[in-house]
Amino acid sequence: MKLIAKGAEACIYSLSAFGKEFVLKRRERKDYRVPELDLRLRAERTRSEARTMLRLHAIGVRVPGLIALGKFSICMEKLEGMLLKDTQKTGGIFTEVGKALALMHDNGTVHGDLTPANVMICNSLPYLIDFGLSSFTNGAEDKAMDLLLMKRAVSSRLYKSLEEAYLTNSRTGKEVILRLADVEKRGRYQNRNLE
């Protein structure tokens, strides 16, 4: 196994078997956490990541295929490509992200950490990754937070492509966008108070 990436909470190894490439994502112990909490968080996040990957795969959202699951590790298909944050960003890609997010939200799944660092571009199409903070909810506020993270991370032109596709494709898109405006208003208000 070869270490290919070290994220905030996991190590990613690549391995090959049967002539195919896979990755193993293992959540490592964090010494700054109380041991019981550390064990619980790593196990819970691993389980919810795997559950969400299966659920999204079943409804046709592009995610790496799940191969095997351990207590703190997930073996999945290796995506050949680059992170969205490191590639040429186009309106077309963001339209596809908007469609995927609409499908996912209508299914009652929220990503929880949707940024250009958690989208991989593979054969010119976006694949969502990193579902450790995902949850199953139909709350407009949680859904709005997925949009807000992306909105803060990219240009307004690119975000517009995402939002348009989201609105066209999601049953509850309008409600979520209205809630997003609300969240942003509250955010500005809080920021003013902090100045």
Ligand X SMILES: Nc1ncnc2c1ncn2[C@@H]1O[C@H](COP(=O)(O)OP(=O)(O)O)[C@@H](O)[C@H]1O
Catalytic entry in 86, 106, 113, 142: 113
Distance CA 153, CA 173 (A): 20
Per-residue x/- track, 1-40, Mg ion (CB under 5 A): ------x---------------------------------
Q: Is 146 designated active site?
A: no
What is the binding site for ligand X (CB under 6 A)?
A: 5, 7-10, 12, 23, 25, 64, 76-79, 83, 117-118, 129-130, 132
Pick the closer one to ligand X by CB: 65 or 187: 65
Q: Is 118 a binder of Mg ion (CB under 5 A)?
A: yes
User: 146, 110 in Cβ contact below 8 A?
Assistant: yes
What are the beta bridge partners of residue 83? Answer: 120
Burial class (CB in 10 A: 0-12, 13-18, 19+), 115: middle
Pick the closer one to Mg ion by CB: 130 or 146: 130
The site partner of 83 among Mg ion, ligand X, none (C-beta below 5 to 8 Å per kind) is ligand X
Q: Is 130 a binder of Mg ion (CB under 5 A)?
A: yes
Write 51-56 long-range contacts (CB < 8 A, 24+): 52/109, 52/131, 52/134, 53/131, 55/107, 55/109, 56/104, 56/107, 56/109, 56/128, 56/131
Pick the closer one to ligand X by CB: 132 or 173: 132
Active-site positions read 113
- Residue ranges that bind Mg ion, judged by CB under 5 A: 7, 118, 130
